[in-house]
Amino acid sequence: MNYQVGIIGIGRVGLPLGLSLTKNGVKTIGFDINEQVIELVNNKKMPFKETGYDELMTKINFTATSDMSKIKEVENIIITVGTPLLAHIETDLTQLNAVLTGIAPFIQKGHNLILRSTVAPKTTWYVHHFLELKTGFKIGSDIFLSFCPERIAEGKALEELETLPQIIGSNDLQSGKKAEAVFSNLAKKIFHTDYTSAELVKLFNNIYRYINFSISNQFAIIAENYHVNVYEILRMANHDYPRGQISSPGFTAGTCLRKDFGMINETNPYSDLLLNAWKVNEYIPRFLVEKLMLQTTIYGKTIGVLGYSFKNDTDDTRDSLVPKMIRYISREVPKKLMIHEPNITGKLDGLFENESLQDTLKESDVIFIALNHTAFKMNIAQIIADAKDDCWFVDYWNVSGTDKIIFNKKDFKK
């Protein structure tokens, strides 16, 4: 076989993995259906922002193709396609099914398959049975299968792929050994377990963070209802306190945190801690619009939104809560809506013009600081100075340092 590893899905999970494996001497090829992404990769250009990989890409030999027949030339197949959550708390396996159906005719004896997409418990067993039925091969003797979750944070892939322990979930010894042979090129520590336990490791990591952030958001709502300062309370609560630090409130979003609770929750018919955390985090966009409406009106005003991606300093808009907030703003019938996202060039999700910061500040009567981008934090005094004299600000991330979720420029000056 010509390649040690083939990665199916060269997005924000698959591409950094492929580049890091290649950097460490593993001959790797990428597979994708997006011809635009393939062209960028083959021209040694990153399709998205990920710290350190723009330079790395120019130094290594990594290529991509849409020709799935080349799977025959690959020894280890890693699947990293998306597994979003459908509207009614149901895991969407459309992309995974498409991959399995597409590669089944090309699976050969000896192939080692590794599922890396975030999946609901028991999904690897589904893949196990699918492959045995469609190929006629036996997992563990003819072909091999493991679930090896990614746990990197966006923007830190280059570092974390080589520092985080790798979890390998397999149903037989040989599959586990073959997966370890791949990831030992990156991870310094490896843990072996079964399919379902490995699936739950990834989900537990993300859901734990999701619940913690929901607590911070709930605290912010409670503090506002009592008309007290949540930021001051958190500073006092955290200062020199030895038993856990409470996170600051903020939008809790992204393709992992916003959906992973549902991969467990879809098997539970009752309300629980996970579902309630989701309700709190999803309420925040509406909460901000309603709090603003107690101070001023949106109707007939020009509204500026600073930030559009799902978290600070990324160009990834998937599962961002900002579009949801924009929809609530739009319900109040503003005269005009202006959005500025410094990490993206061109239209935002093909829907909104990406206005200049200067124009947004000049025209807006109300400005939502939707993300705590470094570009905003470093220039916040100038941002406020350039806004209209009577402009209102919504600053849930406390980028301004005013310790107020809603404030007027006049109050800021005082």
* pLDDT per residue as tens digits for the range 81-94: 999 999 888 999 99
* pLDDT per residue as tens digits for the range 18-63: 999 999 999 999 999 999 999 999 999 999 999 999 999 999 999 9
Which is nearest to 336 in space by CA: 359, 308, 310? 359
The neighbouring-strand residues paired with 278 are: none
Same domain? For 269 and 330 the reply is yes
341 domain-assigned: yes
Beta carbons within 10 angstroms of residue 184's beta carbon: 12
**Domain stops at, among 149, 165, 193:** 193
- In the sheet where 3-8 sits, what is the strand order? 63-65, 28-31, 3-8, 74-79, 112-115, 144-147, 166-170, 190-193
Which is nearest to 166 in space by CA: 199, 127, 192? 192
- pLDDT mean across residues, the chain: 96
Same domain? For 84 and 219 the reply is no
Query: What b/e readout covers 337-360, taking b as 16+ CB neighbours within 10 angstroms?
Result: bbbbbbbbeeebeeebebbebeeb
Query: What is the count of structural domains for the chain?
Result: 2
With 70 as the cut, is the pLDDT of residue 414 above it?
A: no
**Domain stops at, among 193, 214, 248:** 193
* pLDDT per residue as tens digits for the range 124-166: 999 999 999 999 999 999 999 999 999 999 999 999 999 999 9
**Domain stops at, among 142, 166, 193:** 193
200 domain-assigned: no
State the residue range of the domain holding 70.
3-193
Same domain? For 80 and 24 the reply is yes
Q: Which two tokens stand for residue 199?
A: 């699936």
C-alpha–C-alpha distance, residues 26 and 242, integer Å: 44
Same domain? For 92 and 173 the reply is yes
- Considering the entire predicted model, what is its pTM? 0.93
Which is nearest to 159 in space by CA: 46, 311, 20, 336? 20
Through-space distance between the first and last CA atoms of the chain, rounded to whole angstroms: 70
C-alpha–C-alpha distance, residues 179 and 306, integer Å: 43
Q: Beta 3-8 vs 74-79: how paired, if at all?
A: parallel
**DSSP codes, 313-346:** T----TT-SHHHHHHHHHHT--SEEEEE-TT--S
Same domain? For 150 and 91 the reply is yes
* pLDDT per residue as tens digits for the range 212-257: 999 999 999 999 999 999 999 999 999 999 998 999 999 999 988 9
Same domain? For 166 and 236 the reply is no
Same domain? For 170 and 239 the reply is no
Looking at residue 256, its pLDDT comes to 87
Q: What CATH number is associated with residue 93? A: 3.40.50.720
Same domain? For 185 and 293 the reply is no
Angle between helices 273-293 and 322-331 (to 10 degrees): 50
Same domain? For 122 and 176 the reply is yes
Same domain? For 75 and 105 the reply is yes
199 domain-assigned: no
**DSSP codes, 233-270:** HHHHHHTT-SS--PPPP----STTTTTHHHHHHTT--S
| Angle at alpha carbon of residue 196, lines to 135 and 176, rounded to 5° | 60
Q: Which two tokens stand for residue 386?
A: 């350039």
201 domain-assigned: no
